[in-house]
Amino acid sequence: MKASVKICGISSAEDALAALGCGAEFLGLIFEPKSPRAVTPKQAEEIAKAVGGRAKLVGVFVSQTADFIKDAAKKQNLFAVQLHGGQNAEFVKSLGALDAEIWKVVWLENESDLAEAEAFEADRILVDSKSGGSVGGTGKRANWELAARLAKKRKVILAGGISPENVREAVNAVCPCAVDVNSMVEDSPRKKNHLKIKQLFENLKEMENTQMKSNGKFGVYGGQYVAETLMPALQELEREFYRAMGDADFQDEYRGILRDYVGRETPLYFARRLTEHCGGAQIWLKREDLNHTGAHKVNNTIGQALLARRMGKRRLIAETGAGMHGVATATVAALFGMECEVFMGAEDIRRQAQNAARMDMLGAKLTAVEIENGEATLKDAMNEALRDWVATVENTFYVIGTAAGPHPYPTMVKEFQSIIGREAKAQLMEKCGRLPDQVVACVGGGSNAIGLYAPFIDEKGVAIYGAEAAGQGIETGKHSASMQGGSVGVLHGNKTYLLQDEYGQIMDTYSVSAGLDYPGVGPEHAYMKDTGRATYVPINDAQAVHAFRTLCRLEGIIPALESSHAVALAMENAKNLSKDKIIVVSLSGRGDKDMNSVMEYLRK
């Protein structure tokens, strides 16, 4: 759903041009003298001259006479007159044949209000919240449920508390033809915050991009390569996912759990000593390791568990490599009182004994996956989870942790993890007043990476980097770098880059990091590699362990081995950039779980 934007309460040419530059289609000029954002006819003329016909001006009138409105509409060449008072049908008739649209503001509180709004003769209906005597800009949310019903019959403009943070939710919930934004993008009643206006449009653009991918294809990648048995379940999941994205109650509960239970938002931390050590660009760490459960995985498992509950599924299953996704799934199962089974490769259980114990303590059934030849790792766990889902699809919800799998999983995981990038972007703008020069994340399947990248994909001035697990080196064949050393194929329900032999058989993978020990990558990463939007760099075990120890000793932060790959890449990149450049790194998890693996590696 694409919605136009009206920035209302414009009182200066500077704010008008800023809104126009971000993409506003409509600019609202308030002619009501009692409003703190009021403009005089002369000021309106100056604003109109500054925009030069590049935006559609909307005059907002509360107590003015019909003659005043007609005169203003003519002199300012208004695209629309917005009637914000108690004007009735007779008043509209007294305006005569205006060369402007008529927009009528309504306040929806009950069925009677809805019926009156449906019947009012106006080109568009603007749904706002009750102002309690003040004139505009209350910041209070309108009744979205009634507005959505009205939008099915009339052209609706949604106002009332629309902000950069909730605009996507509002558009999904109501499906308006436009949104009207005022007080939530300003520092004071006569001073718009240009960064907030920019963020509003970026969030809308991100939503539109997500919806364009709703068929599950990223170029040639993605899709739904699954057994016929699973297609009804995937179709049901897709429907419920997009409905939930437009459900205000779902979004409120999701955000509330992230805030009160997970502990979001996580800090964006300037690693001063690490920066000085590298001698180049500033390195900022997005501290996902400080989430409840110790990693980014919980952002996604909470969203998927809420979807499972919404769909009436009481049993959760999951695959896990490093164990963090398994722990996060077991955690939400305990929180919501659901049955949980986690599939984990026998080799990963050995490497990640601490997380295996955590899952057991949380009440999950941990199923060890073993194979006859080779070491069972993440791909084998995912194979077993898919087999279980085929057999128990009626009552089971498969909580996929990575940004891979059949559609809608890659899009869904990106949506739930995009809070990483959205927070980091807003935090850096607040701290430094600008965007980063680079964003860096580790990439196995790629959930934390796509979450960080999401709001930066359309920012052409921001370079995107991903660190793949090169293990003992690409040339040795003992690695997990699907994009550096793989080819296109199909695995776990989606087409992407894979580590496979000439016959299409999946090859064994290796990495010191259990969470990156996977032979594929999310389809959007494959697409971003091919289009050149992102650069994926192999980081070997030695580089990752060096970065692990360096961050421990310079910043007092013990990172996950997965995250250490990203830190290693950021350290290399920083050395080649000037000190005024900024790199944001996703520190996707903490490294308590990896101490045994690091000690084993260092003893070799």
Secondary structure of residue 544 in the 3-state scheme: helix
In degrees, to the nearest 5, what angle opens at C-alpha 529 toward C-alphas 523 and 530? Answer: 95
- Give kind and range of the element (H or E) at residue 149: helix 144-151
Our answer to whether residue 297 is catalytic in this structure is yes
Closest listed residue to residue 104, CA positions, set 51, 45, 174, 93: 93
Our answer to whether residue 513 is catalytic in this structure is no
- Give kind and range of the element (H or E) at residue 4: strand 4-7
Q: Of 297, 313, 379, 495, which residue is the catalytic one?
A: 297
> Strand 268-270 relative to strand 156-158: parallel, antiparallel, unpaired?
unpaired
Closest listed residue to residue 416, CA positions, set 573, 147, 210: 210
- Report the alpha-carbon distance of residue 11 to residue 259 in Å, rounded: 36
Q: Of 198, 588, 593, 597, which residue is the catalytic one?
A: 588
- Give residues with Cβ within 8 angstroms of 73, minimum separation 6: 59, 81, 98, 99, 100
- Report the alpha-carbon distance of residue 410 to residue 413 in Å, rounded: 5
- Report the alpha-carbon distance of residue 80 to residue 88 in Å, rounded: 17
Quickly list H helices, 282-418: 297-310, 324-336, 346-351, 353-361, 378-392, 409-417
Q: How far is CA 158 from CA 8, 109, 180, in A?
A: 12, 14, 6
In degrees, to the nearest 5, what angle opens at C-alpha 97 toward C-alphas 93 and 100? Answer: 105
CB environment 12-31: b (16+ within 10 A), e (fewer)? beebbbbbbebbbbbbbbbb
Our answer to whether residue 101 is catalytic in this structure is no
- Report the alpha-carbon distance of residue 403 to residue 450 in Å, rounded: 7
CB environment 78-94: b (16+ within 10 A), e (fewer)? bbbbbbbeebeeeebee
Q: Of 202, 238, 319, 562, which residue is the catalytic one?
A: 319
> Looking at residue 270, what DSSP letter applies?
E
Cite the active site residues.
297, 319, 588
